[in-house]
Amino acid sequence: MSSEMATAPAGGGGGGSASATHPRFSGRSLQRWELALVVVLAGTLVFGAAESPVFLTTPTIFYTGLNIGLIAIMALPLTMIVVTGEIDLSVAAMLGLSCTVFGYAFGHGIDVYLAMLIALAVGVVGGALNGFLITRLGLPSIAVTIGTLTMFRGIAEVILGQNEVTGFPNSLLVVAPIGGTQMAWTFAIFLVLAVIYGVILHWSPIGRSIYAIGLNKETAFFSGIRVTRIKFCLYVISGAICAMVGVLYALQNNAARYDAGTGLELNVVAVVLFGGVSIFGGRGTIIGVVLSVLVVGCFDEVLTLINVSQEEQNIVFGVLLLISVLVPNGADGYHRLRRRLQRGRTGVAAPTAAPP
């Protein structure tokens, strides 16, 4: 707010202590990262067009959306959770559990819409369990959600075993693009949710509270923000949305299996972090995550078109993830080094002279 504070972290320190980071400064550094993502996205599009003649055609839009859509939807609730400084590793396991419950209920003759509701209810209960353990008992979210990850997947395995449920009503399958367009259903849902999430996170009091919690939990608490209640709600919403993704997974593949989406949690986390959301909380934007989704989706599509295998694409993905933390921190590191060198030239001479 005050203008003299804006000059304090001149040149871009900010990496050291989150509490000292001025909001205006962090906003500026984030814009820089989002700009970088736009450049990377443009680069990907140019590279794709140069490498494959079919890249810039309409089916690509559909397949890109189809492949990244489910991960993208789960990235939104996770973004808010990471901004509060917590994490949820149980997202993909919740996908699997809800997919299983949905398939099991449908397979036992329950009406398909009722089955969806049951699956969503499971998501709410699972999210509430996470939220209860993390906010009420004060347990570390990373350990809790590794536990619920294992447990959700385990319960799914108990329910369906090695069976597969299929034969969902044709009218509900979301395999084809939305009529007349090249938009995949899951991707369209992602975009709508992204707008809602963007508005809540960036233009609402709740959103400001979420950032405040991530920057300093104690300060947020003493400012009258209901820290535990907000966190609890975020986990419940995350559970519900991941359960919805589980239903979409079943409808997109016309198959419900207990191992649906196994291992996707790390992909979702990676997409969120690549979008410039700080793992320590308090920093990150929905725009960044949307751009990250687009970059990752397009990159995967280009690499698939030029016959790079899915496994090999992971290298590129890992390198991108590494760059996403190294570049912003690299600037900090450079300034730190320069400061230290300057200090070395002027200040350190006296102390070193003292001992014999």
Partner 1 sequence: MNAAAGAPVRIAPAVRSHRLAETLARFRGLAIAAVILIVFGATSIKNPSFAHSTSIQEILTGAALFILLAVGETVVIVTRNVDLSVGSTLGLSAFEVGQLYTHHPHTSVAVALLVGIAIGAACGAVIGLITTVARVPSLVVTLAALYIIRGYVNVIGSGIQIEPSSVPTSFQSIGYSSILGVPWLFVIVIAVALVAAYGMRTFRAGRELYAIGSNPEAAALAGIPVARRVFGAFVISGALAGLGGALFLAEYATVDATGGSGYELLVVAAVVVGGVAIFGGSGNVIGAALGAILLQVINQSLVAVRVSPFWDSAIAGALLLAAIAFDRLLSTRATRAMRAKGGATYVE
- From 73-81, 193-201, 221-229, 262-270, span contacting partner 1 (CB under 8 A): 262-270
Q: In Å, how far are 22, 29, 237, 331 from 7, measured between CA atoms?
A: 10, 14, 39, 17
d(CA 86, CA 214): 8
Is 151 one of the binding residues for partner 1 (CB under 8 A)? yes
Is 146 one of the binding residues for partner 1 (CB under 8 A)? yes
- From 144-152, 230-238, 241-249, 339-347, span contacting partner 1 (CB under 8 A): 144-152
Is 205:93 a contact under the CB 8 Å cutoff? no
Is 76:88 a contact under the CB 8 Å cutoff? no
Nearest CA-CA partner of 259 in 248, 250, 270? 250
User: Nearer Cβ to partner 1, position 5 or 143?
Assistant: 143
**Total number of residues binding partner 1 (CB under 8 A)?**
50
- From 73-81, 133-141, 283-291, 297-305, span contacting partner 1 (CB under 8 A): 133-141
Please, what sign has the CA dihedral across residues 105, 108, 111, 112? positive
Nearest CA-CA partner of 149 in 74, 230, 218? 74
Q: Measured between alpha carbons, how far apart are the two ends of the chain, in Å?
A: 49
d(CA 112, CA 116): 6
The minimum distance between CB 256 and partner 1, in angstroms, equals 16
Single out the residue of 35, 49, 175, 322 in contact with partner 1 (rule: CB under 8 A): 322
Single out the residue of 77, 91, 105, 153 in contact with partner 1 (rule: CB under 8 A): 153
Is 341 one of the binding residues for partner 1 (CB under 8 A)? no
Is 11 one of the binding residues for partner 1 (CB under 8 A)? no
Q: Which 71-110 residues touch partner 1, going by CB under 8 A?
A: 89
Is 312 one of the binding residues for partner 1 (CB under 8 A)? yes
Structure tokens that stand for 127 in this block: 């999210």
Is 114:59 a contact under the CB 8 Å cutoff? no
User: Nearer Cβ to partner 1, position 139 or 191?
Assistant: 139
Task: Give alpha helix (H) positions in the chain.
Answer: 3-7, 23-51, 58-83, 91-107, 112-131, 141-160, 185-203, 205-215, 217-222, 227-253, 264-274, 286-305, 310-346, 349-353
The minimum distance between CB 298 and partner 1, in angstroms, equals 18
Query: What b/e string do you get for 134-156 counting C-beta neighbours within 10 Å, with b at 16 or more?
Result: bbeeeeebeebbbbbbeebbebb
Is 332 one of the binding residues for partner 1 (CB under 8 A)? yes
The minimum distance between CB 355 and partner 1, in angstroms, equals 13
Is 160:249 a contact under the CB 8 Å cutoff? no
Is 353 one of the binding residues for partner 1 (CB under 8 A)? no
User: Nearer Cβ to partner 1, position 140 or 169?
Assistant: 140
Is 329 one of the binding residues for partner 1 (CB under 8 A)? yes
User: How remote is the C-alpha of 114 from its chain's centroid?
Assistant: 29
Is 285 one of the binding residues for partner 1 (CB under 8 A)? no
Is 321 one of the binding residues for partner 1 (CB under 8 A)? yes
Is 281 one of the binding residues for partner 1 (CB under 8 A)? no
- From 109-117, 231-239, 311-319, 347-355, span contacting partner 1 (CB under 8 A): 311-319
The minimum distance between CB 309 and partner 1, in angstroms, equals 7
The minimum distance between CB 50 and partner 1, in angstroms, equals 23
Q: Which residues bind partner 1 (CB under 8 A)?
A: 15, 89, 133, 137-140, 142-144, 146-155, 157-158, 161, 262-263, 266, 269-270, 273, 279-280, 309, 311-319, 321-322, 324-326, 329-330, 332-333
